[in-house]
Structure 1
Amino acid sequence: MAAHPSTVGRHRFGIARTNSHLASLSVRTDSTHLPSRITFGCCAFALVTLIVGTNLPSPLYAVYAQRFGFSPVVLTLVFAAYAAALVPALLLAGSAADAFGYRRVLLPGLAFAVAGVLVFAYAEGTGWLFLARVLQGASVGISSGALTAALTRTEPAGRTHRASLVTSLATTGGGGLGPVLAGACALWLPAPTRTCYLIEAVTLIAAAAGLATLPGALGRSGIRWRVSLPTIPATGRAVFVRACATSFTGWAVTAVFLSIVPSYVRSLTGNRNLLLAGVAAGLVLLVAAVTQPVATRVGARPLQLVGLLSLAGGTALLLVAGTTRSLVVVIAAAVLAGIGQGLAFMGAIRSANHTAPSSAHAAVISTFYIATYLGVGVPVVGVGLLATSTSTTTAVDVFAVIAGLGSLAVAAVHARAGRAVVASAVGEQPTCR
C-alpha cells in the first residue's frame, strides 16, 4: 500500500533544508550523507521487492486449501494474519528508525521477510502458512515507515513529490505484480508452490545488500525509542475520519480480490490456471498503480469521491459476474475497482497528511494506517466465514452488495462535506448589489 508524502527542501552538497512536514516525520539532516541515484534506487528496489513478496501467495491459496484441506474461512484467516501482525509491528517500530537509524531497522525487517517466504516455500501444513504471514506482516510493519522516510531523504534532487510517487507506485505496483509473478512461476517453472518464493528470497537478500550500503547515521535523530500510540488530530478531525473510512473501504475491496477472488474465478469458470488466478487477484493494484500518476493534480476530496464511486461500480460488476458466470466481467470488475482504489487511496492519504499536525504527524499517520489494515483484515474474514457456511460465490455476492453500499455511503458523506465547504465559502463573500 502507498505511504504518506512529506515535504523536504532541496538537498545539495549533503546539506538539507527541512521544513515542518519533514520535522514531523522525524527525518533529520545528516551532513555526512550525500544523496545519490544509487542509494535512492536501492531503497525503491527494496520496497518493491518487499511488497511483491507479501502478495505472492494470493493465487496459491486455493492450492494450499486443497493440499492441506482447510475451509474458506481458514484461507481468509491466513490472509488476515498479515494485518494482525503488521499493526503491532507498526506501533512498535514507529520511532525506531529515528532512534537507531534506517539501516539498523531495515536489515532486520528484510530478514523477517526472507524468513516468511522460506516458510511458505517449505510449508507442510496450515500452521506454516499462518507463521509465514505473521513474519511477512512483521517485516512490512518494521520496514515500511523507514523505507518511506529513506526514499524522501535520498531523492537526489530533494523532490518530495517524486519520492512520494515512487513510494506509492512501489507499494501498489509491487502488490499487483506479486500474484501475477507467482501465477507465472506456477505455470512455467517447476515446483509451483516453491519456486516463486525461492526467487523472492534471493531478491530480498540482494535488496538487503543494497540497504547495507546506507550510512549508519542516516535517519538517526537522537530521540529515544518509544511505542507510537494511535492519535486523531484535534483540528480537521472530520476530514481525517473520512479519509480513514475511504482507505478502509478501498482496501477491503482490494483484500477480497487478493484473497478469495482466485478461488471465486475457479468456482465460476472451472479454470485452474494459476496465472489466470494471479492476474485476477493482482489486477486491482496494477490498475491502481497506473491510475495514480495521471491524477496527481486532482484535489483530495474529488479523488476520494470519484474513487469511491468507481469502487461501487467495481463491486456491482463483481455481483453481475456471479450471475453471468463470466470471467470477462470479473476482469472488468477488477479494472474498475483498481481505478477506484488508486484514486481513493491517493486522496485519502493526502487528506490524512494535510490534517496531521507537525507535532504528531507520525502518530496520526500510524492511526490512518491502522484503519487501512483493519480494512485489509476484518472484512475478508467475514467473507471467509460466509463462504464456509454457504459457498464462495454467495459470499462474494453478499460482500459485493455490502461493499458497494458502503462505498456509496462514504461517497455521500464526502459530497455533503464538499457542499458545506462551498456554501461556507459563498457565505463569506461580500454581497454585491
Structure 2
Amino acid sequence: MASSALNKPTIPFSEPPYLSGLPSPYYNDSHYAWQKTCREFISAEFSEALAWEANGSVPSTLFKNFAKGNMLIPALPFPLPIKQLKEAGIHELPGGLKLEDFDAFHRLIYGDEMLRVGLGGVPAAITTGINFAIPPIYGYGSPALQKKWLGPLFRGEITSCLAITEPDTGSDVANITTTAKKSSCGKFYIVTGQKKWITNGIWAEYATMAVRTGGHGPTGLSLLWVPLTENDGKGLERRRIYISGGSTSGTAFLDLDEVKVPVENLIGEEGMGMRYIMNNFNAERLSVAIGATRTARVALSSAVEYVMKREAFGKPLIDQPVVRHRLAKAGVMLESQWAWIEQVMYQIGKLGKKAGDRELGGVTAMVKANSGIVLNECAQCAVLLFGGKGLTKGGEGETVEHILREVVVTRIPGGAEDVLLDLGVRQLVKIFKTKTAELEATRGSKL
C-alpha cells in the first residue's frame, strides 16, 4: 500500500515517511486502513479546533461524539485491556479493527493523527482522562471497583482526570502532601490538600488522585478514585488555570478540605501509589512524545509550504541557502525523533508491558524530553521563516504562532525536561549494573 503513494507529491516533512509512499518494516495493510479511518474521523471532528482554542473551550458534544464513535478506546495505553473492554460490551474499534489486532503501531497512528490539528489543547480535552486516569483502575483496582466504573468510563458516560501534581510538588512525586485519613467510622477517607495544573480537572466528574495515607516518602502514597462533581461546594473548590497553551484542555486548581471518599474507592493497596504512578508514567510520556513530534511536523511543514511560495529579494525564500539550512537542521531532528519513536513502539510491542516498563523506562523518559527539544527547534524555525506573520494571532501564520506558545506545555508536564534526561541515564546505568550483577552471580554459581 505504501508504494501506491510514492508518486504523489507530498510537502517535505508534512507526513511520516510511511505515509509518503516510502517502504517501512513496521506497517501493514491493517495500519494503513486504520490511519485512513482515524484521519477521516478526527479531521471532521476537529474542523473548528483553532476557533475553539481561541475561545478556550470545546463544545460539550465533542467528547460525546468520540464516545459514540468508539474513538476514546484507542487513547488507552498499549496493550489494551481486552478482557475488561469485552466485559463492557466493546469488541472492536472503528473500521472493524478487532481489539486483539490492535498493536503498538495502531496506538502510534492514533496519537499521531490526533495531533495533526497542530494544537495540544483540543486532543487533551478528549483523551487525557482516558489515557492517564483509567489505566490504574483496570491495572490495580479491586474487582468491585472495576465492575462499577470501567464500563461507564470506557463508553464515555463519565469523565475523569489524573490528579497528582501539587502547588509545591511537580516531578518530585514522592513528596506529595495531600492527605487521606480514615474516618472514625472507617467507611471513608477524609482527603485534604491541593492539586494544581490538573488537565481536564475543571470539568471531570472523577479523579484518580495521589494521596498520602502513610508516612513520608514514596511508601506512604496511595491512589484514590475521588468523586469531584458530587463534592463541588462540599469541601471541594475548583478554579480554572489558564496556561501558555492548550486553553481548551480545562486545566484546574483543586482545593480539597475534608472531602469524603468511600474506602472502597482505594485503587489497589495502601502504600503502593508510587509504584502505580511510575508504571503509568511510561505510557503518559510516550503519548506526549508522539503528539509533540506530530506538532513539530505541522510547524515545520507549514514553514516549508510557506517559503516555497513567499518571495523576497526577487526570488522565493526556498532559494535562499540560509533558509534551506535552517529547514534542514530542524528536519534532521524531526525525522530522527520520529524514527526513535517507531523503534520504541516496536520494542514495546515485542517486549510486552512488564518487560517494556523495566527495559524502556529510561529510554521513554528521554524520548519524551527530546520531543520537547525537537518541537522547540521546529516551532522556532517556522516562526522565524514566517516572519511577522508568525507573530500574529490570526491569518496565515496563526498555527505556527500558537504552536510556539505551546512548546513549554510539552517540555514541563509529565516530568520536566531536565529531570527526565537525568532519569533516563540513571535508569540505563541501573539496568546495566543489575544485569552485570546477575551475570557475575551466575558465573560464580558455576565455579
TM-score range for the pair, normalised by the shorter chain length: 0.3 to 0.5
Larger relative strand fraction: 2
The higher-RCO structure (CA 8 Å, 6+ apart) is 1
TM score, norm. by length of structure 1: 0.34
| Structure 2 length-normalised TM | 0.34
In our comparison, the structure showing a higher alpha carbon Rg is 2
